[in-house]
Amino acid sequence: MPSSKWDVRFLELALHIARWSKDPSTQVGCVVVGPDREIRSTGFNGFPRGIDDSLDRLTDREQKYPLICHAEENAIMHAARIGISLKGCRAYVTWPPCTRCARSLIQAGVDEVIYPAGLEIPERWMGDFEMSTGMFGEAGVAIRQVPVSPSS
């Protein structure tokens, strides 16, 4: 399916939401959209509500990373909390999902994952990227890349 103005708009919204992350090195946003182009849920990389994110906890790598939820997982948790189904939806994300998020999106019933075209995947993440792409393929989840302007 070719990209549309809506694909670009939803990716631009995900890019905007990504800027809410407390850690600039992990700014990723997610917008989950239903079949009628209604936004069902959003998320960004960061701490879920209710978890203490004081500087003491942030400085300890062992404690920081297990607590941080990825954008896709935050969107899925938000939808579950308010009782919205993500089955048959599209997930617009600003970065290809890791294997953990790929598994979460598959379990949530998302049909398609869309992220910006032209991203340079660092070598250290290439293995994870290939595994998550394979997971999506096995689960029948479509993956699409859409060109967006860098200034979005």
Nearest-angstrom CA–CA distance, 125 and 123: 5
Q: Using CB atoms within 10 Å of the CB of residue 48, give its burial: 0 to 12 exposed, 13 to 18 middle, 19+ buried.
A: middle
- Rounded-to-5 percentages of helix, strand, coil across the chain: 45, 20, 40
Nearest-angstrom CA–CA distance, 126 and 149: 24
For residue 72, indicate whether it is catalytic.
Answer: yes
Nearest-angstrom CA–CA distance, 109 and 8: 22
Write the CA distances from 43 to 2, 24, 62, 102, integer angstroms.
25, 15, 23, 15
Residue found under tokens 């993440």: 125
Residue among 12, 38, 72, 123 flagged as catalytic: 72
Active-site amino acid positions: 72
